[in-house]
Structures are given as structure tokens and as C-alpha cells.
Amino acid sequence: DTAGQERFQALGPLYYRDANGALLVFDITDEDSFSRVKGWVKQLKRMLGDDVVLCIVANKI
């Protein structure tokens, strides 16, 4: 969990290499949080392949 902070983004690949899936959680009260999900999806598919299982979750409902 990097909380979406850019300074920790470089650490992501260390955590999700060899993963079969990922939960992408965004803050429903923050439009930028939702916008960043697209970037995470692209990065995860690039690193793990198109078959990776992704679940997008809205938080703070």
C-alpha cells in the first residue's frame, strides 16, 4: 500500500512482481484518485500481462 503517493510509486514493482491480481482502491471523494487508476492499470498490465486480475474498489462510501 503506497497510498497513491508519487514518492513511493517506484516501490510498486517490488510489491507486485509475480502477482496474479491486484486491488486498486480509489477515494470516491477525490476525482484525481480515480483518474490515477488508469495509470495503475496500464502499469500493472505492462508488468504482469493482460491476464492479470484487477479489482477496482471505491473507498469512503
pLDDT at res. 57: 97
Instruction: Report the chain (61 residues): mean pLDDT per 10 consecutive residues.
Output: 59 79 94 92 92 95 78
| Parent domain of 22 | 6-59
Q: Which residue has the cell 462510501?
A: 61
pLDDT at res. 50: 93
Residue 33 lies in a domain: yes
Residue 50 lies in a domain: yes
Sign of the alpha-carbon dihedral angle for 29, 33, 35, 40: negative
State how many domains the chain has. 1
Strands (DSSP E) along the chain, which ranges?
21-27, 53-59
What's the pTM value of the predicted model, to 2 decimals? 0.74
Residue 1 lies in a domain: no
